[in-house]
Structure 1
Amino acid sequence: MIASQSYIKVIRKMEWNRQLFEEVELRIELYEDKIVTGANSFRLQDVFDVSFKYSDASYGFLYLHTNQGVFPYTVKNVPHDFIFHYQETRKLWKC
């Protein structure tokens, strides 16, 4: 594994006629040839870009731009390191 980034998935539950929200922390992991999330695995050659956009003071969105569409992930911290390592790994693929 080259780099890892935590992200938040919000799960909605119903208990005793009340709607509850639970935050689950998962990881996005960058390898030499793929990116793996809690629900998906993308070959690195199928990931065109990784970007980040601030949402508010406590959350932002990390976007994986792939040949299957754009996948957003809610993050609590700015993923500069993950994006940097993705760009460096991607450069090696283009050589």
Structure 2
Amino acid sequence: MEPLATHRCIEVKQEIGWIEKRTVETSFDLHLFEDRIEVKDTHYPIKTVLDISYRLEKDKIGFLYLHTTGGIRTYFIKQDPSKLIEEFKVLMPSTKHRM
């Protein structure tokens, strides 16, 4: 099944070598499907996701928040996730009837 929307998230790690400290940035995709959201090795059934929000300032690393029944999950982002959020909101009316 193809995802309805995909958004790139990043992971930032600090590595300390013998003589230097490095910041290593890797990326991964968050996928929105009709029945779930997949992030790396984790998936959230869509009926447990209450909302998606974000905070992003120009030229800075921002935050994408998945508001779930189990708490808020935070992911780092660099691009505006509006397309992902729009697709999620299209699913919302159908998910409220399943809860």
**TM-score scaled to structure 1, two decimals?**
0.88
**Structure 2 counterpart of 1:52:** 54
CA distance in structure 2 between the partners assigned to 1:27 and 1:9 by the alignment:
11
Runs of 4+ in 1 over 4 A off after TM superposition: none
Structure 1 letter corresponding to 2:75: Y
Percent identity between matched residues is: 26
Which ranges of structure 2 fall in alignment gaps of 5 or more residues? none
Which ranges of structure 1 fall in alignment gaps of 5 or more residues? none
CA distance in structure 2 between the partners assigned to 1:7 and 1:18 by the alignment:
26
Structure 2 residue matching 1:26: 3-state secondary structure: strand
Residues 39-58 of structure 1 show CA distances to partners (whole Å, capped at 9, x for unaligned) of 42111111111001124532
Report how many residues are paired: 95
**TM-score scaled to structure 2, two decimals?**
0.85
Q: RMSD of the TM alignment (CA)?
A: 1.6
Structure 2 letter corresponding to 1:83: I
